[in-house]
Each structure stands twice: as structure tokens, then as C-alpha cells.
Amino acid sequence: MYGRSTVSAMTELATTLGVTIHDPTPPDEFRFSRAGCRLHGFDWGGTRFPVLLLHGGGLTAHTWDFVCLGLRGAARLVAPDLRGHGDSDWSDDYRIDTMAADVVAAADHLGFDRFHLVGMSLGGVVAAHVADSRPDRVERLALVDVAPGVDFESTRRMRAFMTGLGPVRDLETVVEAAMRVNPRAHRTGVAYRVGTLFRRTPDGGWVPKGDPRPPDFPTILAAMDRLAARLTGVPVLLVRGGRSKVLPQATAEHLVGRIPDGRLVVVPNAGHNVQEDNPPALIAALRAFLTHRP
């Protein structure tokens, strides 16, 4: 939900990060259910071709706020919360094909016949599954910092931090802990992200929104290994953060070399969370790719 303070913080931070904002109006929320799971997302509006943006594991749809502010007008932008994340329900089923079916259901709910997909990390794996299983629905696919052969070990400290999140009295303690894990992070950006990952309790404390149960990482990594085989029938843009430890340059180049219609863009001054670290550069890359007409 976007309260007045959230909108102010979002637009101020986006401007600080270099995003050009033409319309600061917050998005509309939408909710729907599939297979007994209530799902949530943000619809940023627009009349052009639909684009669904899928966040990474442990994040929420809010991770796309800055990108959506900058891309507004170029496409119909929609950012859903994957099940177990944000304001979507927790579930006992987090299989990749289940989350992919949720994405298609979101498109159906909004009346989209065909659409573009943008997926970061886990969201990229889900997006690739949608593109492979429903080629009749997906026009173009952008993957952000995800490919077979990612350096999973490099995420160990962040994974431990995310799975260790629990109820707190003050969000500043979470911000401080996050900065110790990644001292190079933009502190104001970290504070904004933390604010979107927690909800207020009646007693004034804060609890994480996301399901605390750890994901099935072996299954996710196995799905990543099958990415190249899933990307043969759709134009693909792979975006790598220039200082990402998760996706080495050689690994990114190897995936693009195996895709019939693939291209690689490296975003400078960005780690794994490209969409938060350098949104203007990602906006430029996505705008060129998603609005391209042969």
C-alpha cells in the first residue's frame, strides 16, 4: 500500500537516483485468487503494451517502484507480488510452475492477451518458465542478473540475513544490519526497501511480510540450469549488474551465446539488485528493448 509518506519517499529517492519522473501518481492495487491463494500486485496504468515485472526472492513488487516511475508512459506496467512475498498470501506450494501459473492468472485477471515479461533473479526463473510454457502469451523477455551458473555462494551472507529477519521494535535496527552485510549499499535505498518488507503490528512493532520458511534453493538452481533451453522462441535481453558477484560476466556471455535471439546489457554501478542500484540505466535498457519494433 502506498501511503502519503511512502509516495514522498519513493519519488524523492527515485529523483536522487537520477530517475526522470513525469507522473508521480502511485499505482493502483489489484487482488485476485488462484488455487486458493490470494495474490496482490500494483498496476501502474498506461495504454501501451503490457509489461509484467517479477521481483526476486525475498523482495516484493516495490523493488520495481523506481523503474516503473521512469518507464511510465512507455508501457502498461504491472508488478505482482509472488506468492509468499509482499502482500500476497503465504503458501505450501512454491514450485516454479505454480508461480508461473500465478503470473499468467494475473495477466488474465487484467485482461492481457500477450505481454512482455521482466524478471529479476527468482522472478527471472519464473518468467522464463512462463515464456517456455506459454509462448502464445509472451512477446519479449528481459532477465535481470540471472543465468545458469550463478555464483550461489556469493549470496550466502544476504540469504542468512533475509532468513534471519524477525519481529523488531524499530526498523532502523534492520537497516543497520543490512548495511553491515553490504556496506556499499545506498543507505536511503536500503531504508526504503526495508520499509516495504515489513508491516506494522497493533502494538507498534514490525513483522516481515514474507514467508520466513527458506526457499527450495536446489530446485531453484536446477530451474536456472534449464534456462537456456527455455529461451529459444522469444527475444531475450539479459541485464547484468556491472559489479554483481552473483552473475559473472563470462557466465552472462555464455547464456546469451546459447540463445537464438539474445543480447546482453551490462549496467554500471549496480550489483545484483540492478533495479534499485541504478534504475536510470536499467530504464534505458528496458525502454529500448521493450519498445523495439522489427
Tell me: the pLDDT tens digits for 218-257?
999 999 999 999 898 899 999 999 999 999 999 999 999 9
Output the pLDDT for position 236. Answer: 97
187-197 and 171-181 helices, crossing angle to 10°? 130
Residue found under cell 516511475: 69
Q: State the pTM of this model.
A: 0.96
Question: CA geometry: angle at 232 spanning 227 and 234, to 5°?
Answer: 100
C-alpha cell at 102: 500465478
Average pLDDT over every residue of 115-121 = 98
pLDDT in tens, 14-73: 999 999 999 999 999 999 999 999 999 999 998 899 999 999 999 999 999 999 999 999
Alpha carbon distance, N-terminus to C-terminus of the chain: 38
Radius of gyration of the CA atoms of the chain, in A:
18
Domain boundaries, the chain: 4-152+217-290
Q: What is the DSSP letter of 86?
A: T
Instruction: Please tell me the CATH code under which domain 4-152+217-290 is placed.
Output: 3.40.50.1820
Mean pLDDT, the chain, integer: 94
Residue 140, Cα to own-chain centre: how many angstroms?
A: 16
9 has pLDDT over 90: no
Average pLDDT over every residue of 170-174 = 94
Output the pLDDT for position 293. Answer: 67
pLDDT band with cut points at 50, 70 and 90 for residue 159: confident
pLDDT in tens, 185-212: 889 999 999 999 999 999 999 999 999 9
4 has pLDDT over 80: no
- Considering only residues 8 and 25, tell me which one the structure prediction assigns the higher pLDDT: 25
Output the pLDDT for position 290. Answer: 94
122 has pLDDT over 60: yes
What percent of the chain has a predicted confidence (pLDDT) above 70? 98
Distance, in Å, from the CA atom of 233 to the CA atom of 92, rounded to the nearest integer, reads 32
126 has pLDDT over 70: yes
Distance, in Å, from the CA atom of 291 to the CA atom of 115, rounded to the nearest integer, reads 12
